[in-house]
Structure 1
Amino acid sequence: MRHRFETSLPRFIWKGLSAISTAFAAIFVTAFVMPPAHASEPEKEIVILAFGDSLTAGFQLPPDKSFPAQLQAALRAKGYPVRVLNAGVSGDTAADGAARLDWSLSEPVDAAIVELGANDMLRGLDLKQTEASLDAILKALSEKRIELLAAGMEPLRNWGEDYAASFRAMWPRLAEKHHAILYPFFLKGVATVPALNQPDGLHPTADGVAVIVRNILPDVEKLIARVKEQRSRTQ
């Protein structure tokens, strides 16, 4: 006489083996396919707005030799996940910049380098108007929680010492008011050096831009550190 359990034994064994296989498969997937719990996520991209005039735009230079392009390349070479937007317009005064700021912010940005005022100085414009426009730009950016770097300019002596002194004094005053990092002279190491400037003596060559980037880079790294600190506070 055959017992009932004898006919069901193979099916019982099969179900057991199937359960064991499923358990091992789950372990394999967890161990080799799923990322470790402690693995860090890729760092979020940092977007920097380079907002200025022809010195930012890259007057008479190929796009990849402009200040924003060379700055982006230098930062990426150091491992920073950044994108630098070229919002430079040749000939712009500070008032021109203030008028176009809204449409220059066509996408969210984390930080801004503001380089304007040189054309105001070259034209001898009223510095009260220049400072008011720069103040409006920095205020609008700050209200959007955008970290700031104010890139200043050394004045020419065309308009006298009083004008030069007033022009020079704008930058630290504005930087302090808006908690911006101050880079006092955008053309440091380049101005008055013929080999680093185009024939007009005002606009840097590609090599001149490379010098600007090298000199300003430590301050841009401080700017990036501020962005990271702000992100850590809001997480």
Structure 2
Amino acid sequence: MKTFFALLVLLTAEVRASTILFLGDSLTEGYQLSKEESFPSVIERKLSKTHKDLKVINGGVAGATSASGPKRMEWYKKTKIDVMVLALGANDGLRGMKVTETEKNLSAVIEKAQARGIKVVLAGMKMPTNMGEPYRTDFEKIFPKIAEKYKVRLIPFLLEGVGGNPKLNLPDGIHPNAKGYEVIANTVMKELEPEL
């Protein structure tokens, strides 16, 4: 009888669907590419081999800053989300927004998620040197600081191995191409998979 119940628990765990929300900007959306080429879709294909009932929501919105994050969480209020990959902040940095504002906004998103029992993986971002070294340094520090404060997993740099590589980006030099998204998917999966 104990064996039967143990097997039942295992089977239930296997069939339970996991839903992942990727809350981000154009880097998440898959700017100028097909939906299937975006990194959330690449991750869905890769993980569906081992997680049969996986559901991925691509919540990428081009031009979005961290300020949109708390309100956008309301869009998914009725959706049962298990894990959220928070990938906002790139546009904040490019626009020179106050680092304290970015930190406040990202913190608010994480607090809303954790209040609903959603596990969070935070994607870090780095800035080009044209923003000035003091701003660049302060901006990059907020991601590990927030990850430590809320005890969430951190992807040190979402564009690791992709940023600045012309072979992995569109002609604008900012947005990844399909090959770039394959690299990003692997980077994200290292921190995401342990949370599933």
Give how far 1:89 is off.
0.4
Rg (Cα) greater in structure: 1
Corresponding letter in the other structure for 1:112: M
Q: 2-side partners of 1:217 and 1:59: how far apart?
A: 20
Give how far 1:158 is off.
1.7
Q: Deviations over 1:30-72 (max 9, x none)?
A: xxxxxx7746344201001000000111111111111211111
Q: Give unpaired runs (5+ residues) of structure 2.
A: none
Q: 2-side partners of 1:78 and 1:196: how far apart?
A: 27
1:127 aligns with 2:99: yes
How many residue pairs match? The answer is: 189
Equivalent residue for 1:138, pick from 93, 98, 110 = 110
1:67 aligns with 2:62: no
Give how far 1:78 is off.
3.5
Conservation of the 8 A alpha-carbon contact between 2:155 and 2:187:
no
**In the superposition, relative to structure 1, how do residues 110 and 167 fare at CA in structure 2: closer, same or farther (>3 Å)?**
same
| TM-score (normalised: structure 2) | 0.91
Q: 1-side partners of 2:30 and 2:121: how far apart?
A: 19
Equivalent residue for 1:115, pick from 80, 83, 87 = 87
Give how far 1:80 is off.
5.2
Q: Which residue does 1:188 correspond to in 2?
A: 160
Q: 2-side partners of 1:193 and 1:158: how far apart?
A: 17
Q: Which residue does 1:103 correspond to in 2?
A: 75
Conservation of the 8 A alpha-carbon contact between 2:70 and 2:112:
no
Give how far 1:207 is off.
1.0
Give how far 1:106 is off.
4.0
* Aligned ranges 1:1-235 → 2 under 5 Å: 38=7, 40-41=11-12, 42-79=14-51, 81-224=53-196
**In the superposition, relative to structure 1, how do residues 200 and 106 fare at CA in structure 2: closer, same or farther (>3 Å)?**
farther
Give how far 1:79 is off.
4.0
Q: Give unpaired runs (5+ residues) of structure 1.
A: 1-35, 225-235
Q: CA RMSD in A?
A: 1.5
Give how far 1:144 is off.
0.8
Give how far 1:157 is off.
1.4
**In the superposition, relative to structure 1, how do residues 88 and 104 fare at CA in structure 2: closer, same or farther (>3 Å)?**
farther
Q: Which residue does 1:30 correspond to in 2?
A: none
- The answer to which structure, 1 or 2, has the higher relative contact order (CA under 8 A, 6+ apart) is 2
Corresponding letter in the other structure for 1:221: E
Q: Secondary structure at the match of 2:23?
A: strand
| TM-score (normalised: structure 1) | 0.76
Conservation of the 8 A alpha-carbon contact between 2:89 and 2:125:
yes
Conservation of the 8 A alpha-carbon contact between 1:148 and 1:180:
yes
Q: Which residue does 1:6 correspond to in 2?
A: none
Q: Percent identity?
A: 37
